[in-house]
Amino acid sequence: MMHTAEELSSPAFAVRVGGRAATLEDLFPGFVEHDRLGVVVRQPCGAVGASTLILAAVTAFYDAQRAKGDGFFIYPDYFLFHVGTRLGDHGMLDVWPAHKEVVVPDEPEALLRAINDRGITRLWSKTAPRRRRNTNASRWPARATGSSPPSYIRPRAASPIPPFRSGEAM
C-alpha cells in the first residue's frame, strides 16, 4: 500500500486563485512545515468538501520533508475537531494518529479551548448558517465578499470527485 508522502506532490494539483493559475504557496501564503491545521466538522462527512484542500496542505508538508532528504517518517500536525460527536474517520486524509481527531462538546468555549490547546495556526471551518428563515446553505470555507472569481483546487489526475470551489454550497 502506498502512502500520500510517496504518492502526492505539488504538481499533482491544479490550483486557481482569483481565476488565475496559482501554486500551493499562493493558496497557503507563508506556509511552513510547522503550521498546525485545524478543521472544524459539524456534520457527518463534513470534511469531504475540503478533502482536496486538506490533501493539498498535506502535500505541501510532505514537499517540505522531501526537500530535506529521503527517509522521513512523520505526519503533519493536522487536527479535525468533531463538534458534538465523532463524525467520521479521516485517517485517509493523513489526519493521523487517531487522537488528532478531537471530539468536543457543541459549545463555543470548548471548541476554542481545544483549538488553542493544540496550537492551531491555520483554522478552516464551514460557516454557520444564518439564523433567518430564508437563508442560503452554509458554505465551506467562508467566501470573502467582493467581485473576485472564486478559487479552485483539484487533483490533476482524472477523478470522479468534482473540483473544490470556495464559496460553493455543499
Q: Considering the domain boundaries, does residue 136 fall inside one?
A: no
Contact 113/27 with Cβ under 8 angstroms?
no
Position 134 in a domain: no
Give the C-alpha distances (Å, rounded to integers) separating 22 from 17, 52, 57, 60.
6, 15, 14, 14
- Count structural domains, the chain: 1
Taking only the tens place, the pLDDT of each residue in 29-67 is: 898 889 999 999 999 888 888 888 899 899 889 888 888
109 falls within a domain = yes
Q: Per the domain annotation, does 19 fall within a domain?
A: yes
Distance CA 3, CA 6 (A): 5
What is the structure's pLDDT at 7? Answer: 74
Question: What tens digit of pLDDT does each residue of 126-142 get?
Answer: 765 555 544 444 444 44
Q: Which domain holds residue 63?
A: 4-128+148-165
Within-domain flag for 114: yes
DSSP strand pairing (78-83 vs 37-41): parallel
Spell out the residues 6+ positions from residue 108 whose beta carbon is closer than 8 angstroms to its own.
none
Whether 138 maps to a domain, the answer reads no
pLDDT digits (tens, 9 = 90+) for 61-89: 988 888 888 777 888 999 999 999 999 88
Tell me, yes or no, whether 156 lies in a domain: yes
Residue 123 lies in a domain: yes
Q: Is the pLDDT of residue 28 over 90?
A: no
